[in-house]
Amino acid sequence: MLSITRLKKAYAETPVFADVSLDIARGEFVAMLGESGVGKSTLLNCIAGLDEADAGEIVLDREAVRTLSEPGRARLRREKLGFVFQAFHLLPHLSVAENVALPLLLLDRPDGQRVAQLLAAVGLAGLGARSPAQLSGGQLQRVALARALVHRPLLILADEPTGNLDPATASRMLDVLQAQVRAEGAACLLVTHSAAAAARADRVLRLTATGIVAEAGSP
Ligand SMILES: Nc1ncnc2c1ncn2[C@@H]1O[C@H](COP(=O)(O)OP(=O)(O)O)[C@@H](O)[C@H]1O
Ligand SMILES: [Mg+2]
């Protein structure tokens, strides 16, 4: 479903990765480890068409991301991707429920029941009317997860989605993520520093300074 071939990316004179190849099939839950600064977030942004690689190919659900126009990439994100950003990126002037509902509205598929279901699944039932400013970091992270899943995306890109959570809550959030992947025949690429999160994955990859994505061994 996702196929990355020889992807290369640099910022001006600073190389980030030089040769990343990676395949993810439907139903797969893949964890990616890698030291801070090695380019994990940059790779997710390139997959989502939010950042531009310098060479190589990214094919998502038979669409070549790098050759799409900007409106084409926006459509691809809307229809096929759920992204849990490391910095959440919630809209501050919308309520929690409105933030979660946004992907459905952009697809012209409003569904209040689905929004409520997701808020309950991430343990935030009853907080939908609040403003993001009234939530803790861990709660914001769970809103970001609910928003990424609400429209049943084909591929979920999750950038350290349990980094602000206690171990018990983190484990429940991974349950939610994994259940969605299984139920919808979706796939997930989970960037994490957590051994507990990686241990749940079908496969564990490591992004290294040379840019090669190598198997780090099964959990
Ligand atoms: N917009 C940018 N402009 C210049 N350098 C950047 C930019 N974004 C990230 N970098 C650099 O690219 C490298 C990879 O960053 P990042 O993908 O955030 O790493 P990770 O998520 O693995 O911690 C880092 O050296 C970072 O400083
Ligand atoms: Mg990062």
Q: How far apart are CA 219 and CA 207, in angstroms?
A: 16
Mean pLDDT, rounded, of the chain? 94
Candidate of 7, 9, 11, 54 to mutate for ligand 1, largest count of ligand atoms within 8 Å of Cβ? 11
Residue 55, domain member (yes or no): no
Task: Establish if 145 belongs to a structural domain.
Answer: yes
| CATH at residue 84 | 3.40.50.300
Mean pLDDT value of segment 125-130: 97
Number of structural domains in the chain: 1
Residue 182 belongs to a domain: yes
The Cα 193–Cα 32 span in angstroms is 8
What's the confidence (pLDDT) of residue 77?
Answer: 97
Enclosing domain of residue 169: 26-50+69-215
Ligand nearest to the Cα of 33, by number: 1
State in Å: Cα 44 to ligand 2 middle: 9
117 found inside a domain: yes
- Which residue would you say has higher pLDDT here, 213 or 37? 37
Question: How much is the pLDDT for 216?
Answer: 57
Gyration radius (Cα) of the chain, Å:
17
Does some domain include residue 20?
A: no
Confirm whether 198 is domain-assigned: yes
Q: Beta 187-191 vs 155-159: how paired, if at all?
A: parallel
pLDDT, tens digit, 9 for 90 and up, residues 133-171: 999 999 999 999 999 999 999 999 999 999 999 999 999
Establish whether residue 192 lines the binding site of ligand 1, counting it when its CB lies within 6 angstroms of any ligand atom: no
pLDDT in tens, 95-106: 999 999 999 999
